């Protein structure tokens, strides 16, 4: 399919606003990105520790369930009955050895096999399925599954390379920093729906330039600011990236005069809100990793979370936050993580700013279908940087996006 849409001549220094508003593009994204050779995050292994445990989620718009079979193996199944397409699993999580569709009670095993269906041989000699109907040919659609250090990903495509090859060695290194093999403990969920195109969320996390300006709370308390040592690193394709930075003290320095809203006199009444302790090697205190096509791994001080993107039409997405720590955390560390979670999520002291700005970005895009966004901070290229005054990771993202989308 050739698109009538034409990317602006300035290439990746411009992003046409129709990528956020065009329903045909959105459909193509579902097929080529979420349905294509990508590894989508679906769950943490800690959410389904026992045989029969399952969670329900989505890859793009496709509803799936992630199950653990009796032999311990993880399966990812499309949540759509092979009979008439009913989304048969409604519980968001639970334990079940079989799944039964409520409509005609076709039942499936944890690995997606069709176990049986009522009236298969008819009733009193009437009806029934044809003699050549084979259960083995009518199981649930299953996906490829991979797991690294307790994080489960799935793919619709047989062409997706191994997860390690897919992520690239630099990004595997950052991934393993948080997921170092220690068993994880799920602390809970926050979910929100944001009236903006899903890509705006990725751009937001790939954009350190905004973080030092929009997020006055972060800057005021030194958690993230333009003059802190930082870097941006991509994989060779540009689809994944990581923003790395380190905390500084609350202080006034060169460059902050550009940040008009910074509050130098703000002091916490209860310092327990922000009492980060070093728990990973090195000076780095913030690592925000974006993994194509639906995951942001958040490590800001001691708050660790998976942010899973679920697109819901061209102008809306859901963000599912799964907060976690380690099984080995003591109560003090767990409490610290739970308190620092105040920074993030739908009521986050910091992330509220992003949800609100993305809503406005979408409104601007709708009103400017023939215009384009400008991405020239830090130049025109897509190479790794050692600072945060750059939009390089967004340029790299769209470089890859264009090749996948044929634009």
Partner 1 sequence: MTSDVSASVTTRAAKRVPWAMFDQNAVRELYDDYAAFLDDGDYASWLELFDESAVYTVTARENVERGLPLATIRCDSRGMLADRIDALVTTQFYARRITRHVVTAIRPVGIDNGHLHTSANFVLIETIEDESTRIQSAGTYDDVIAMFDGELRFVEKRAIYDAPLVPTSIIVPL
Q: Given the rule CB under 8 A, which residues bind partner 1?
A: 52, 54, 88-100, 102, 107, 186-195, 214, 216-217, 220, 261, 263, 266, 268-270, 272-273, 318, 323, 334, 338-339, 341-342, 345-347, 349, 352-353, 355-357, 359-360
Nearest residue (CB) to partner 1, 77 versus 167: 77
User: β-pairing, 286-291 with 241-245?
Assistant: antiparallel
Nearest residue (CB) to partner 1, 91 versus 383: 91
Nearest residue (CB) to partner 1, 135 versus 342: 342
Cβ 61 to partner 1, closest distance in Å? 15
Nearest residue (CB) to partner 1, 146 versus 192: 192
Two structure tokens written together for 399? 């470089």
Nearest residue (CB) to partner 1, 149 versus 312: 312
Nearest residue (CB) to partner 1, 149 versus 191: 191
The secondary structure of 164-212 as a DSSP string is HHHH-HHHHHHHHHH-SSPPEEEEEEEEEEESS-HHHHHHHHT-HHHHH
Cβ 224 to partner 1, closest distance in Å? 13
Cβ neighbours of residue 204 closer than 8 Å, sequence gap 6 or more: 210, 354, 357, 358
Look at the chain and count its residues: 407
Cβ 331 to partner 1, closest distance in Å? 10
Cβ 293 to partner 1, closest distance in Å? 21
Cβ 318 to partner 1, closest distance in Å? 6
Cβ 324 to partner 1, closest distance in Å? 9
Nearest residue (CB) to partner 1, 80 versus 400: 80
Question: By CB neighbour count within 10 A (0-12 exposed, 13-18 middle, 19+ buried), where does 398 fall?
Answer: buried
DSSP state of 276: -
Residue among 7, 12, 20 at smallest CA distance from 377: 12
Strand ranges for 224-359 from DSSP E? 230-234, 241-245, 286-291, 295-300, 303-311, 317-326
- How far apart (Å, rounded) are the C-alpha atoms in residues 82 and 307? 30
Cβ 274 to partner 1, closest distance in Å? 9
- The per-residue b/e assignment along 159-195, b for 16 or more CB within 10 angstroms, e otherwise, is ebeebeebbbebbbebbebbbeeeebbebeebeeebe
């Amino acid at each position: 399919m050739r698109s009538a849409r034409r990317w602006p001549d300035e290439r990746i220094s411009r992003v046409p606003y129709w990528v956020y508003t065009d329903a045909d593009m959105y459909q193509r994204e579902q097929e080529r990105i979420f349905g294509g050779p990508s590894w989508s995050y679906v769950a943490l292994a800690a959410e389904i520790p026992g045989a029969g445990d399952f969670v329900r989620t989505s890859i793009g718009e496709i509803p799936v369930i992630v199950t653990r079979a009796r032999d311990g193996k993880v399966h990812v199944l499309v949540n759509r009955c092979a009979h008439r397409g009913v989304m048969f699993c409604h519980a968001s999580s639970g334990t079940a050895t079989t799944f039964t569709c409520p409509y005609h009670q076709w039942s499936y095993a944890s690995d997606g096999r069709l176990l049986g269906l009522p009236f298969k041989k008819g009733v009193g000699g009437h009806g029934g399925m044809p003699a050549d109907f084979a259960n083995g040919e009518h199981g649930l659609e299953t996906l490829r599954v991979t797991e690294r250090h307790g994080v489960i990903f799935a793919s619709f495509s047989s062409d997706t390379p191994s997860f390690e090859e897919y992520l690239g060695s630099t990004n595997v290194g950052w991934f393993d920093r948080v997921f170092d093999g220690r068993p994880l403990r799920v602390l809970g969920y926050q979910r929100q729906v944001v009236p903006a195109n899903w890509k705006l969320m990725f751009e937001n996390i790939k954009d350190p330039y905004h973080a030092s300006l929009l997020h006055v709370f972060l800057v005021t308390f030194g958690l993230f600011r333009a003059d802190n040592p930082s870097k941006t690193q991509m994989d060779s394709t540009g689809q994944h990236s990581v923003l790395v930075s380190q905390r500084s003290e609350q202080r006034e320095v060169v460059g902050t005069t550009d940040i008009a809203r910074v509050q130098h006199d703000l002091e916490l009444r209860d310092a327990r809100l922000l009492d980060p302790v070093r728990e990973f090697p090195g000076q780095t205190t913030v690592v925000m990793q974006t993994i194509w096509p639906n995951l942001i791994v958040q490590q800001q001080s001691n708050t660790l979370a998976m942010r899973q993107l679920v697109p819901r039409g061209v102008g809306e997405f859901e963000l599912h936050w799964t907060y976690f720590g380690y099984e080995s955390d003591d109560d003090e560390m767990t409490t610290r993580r739970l308190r620092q979670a105040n920074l993030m999520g739908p009521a986050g002291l910091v992330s509220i700013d992003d949800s609100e700005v993305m809503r406005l970005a979408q409104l601007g895009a709708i009103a400017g279908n023939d215009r384009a966004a400008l991405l020239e901070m830090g130049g025109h290229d897509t190479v790794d940087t050692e600072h945060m005054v750059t939009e390089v990771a967004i340029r790299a993202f769209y470089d890859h996006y264009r090749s996948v989308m044929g634009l």
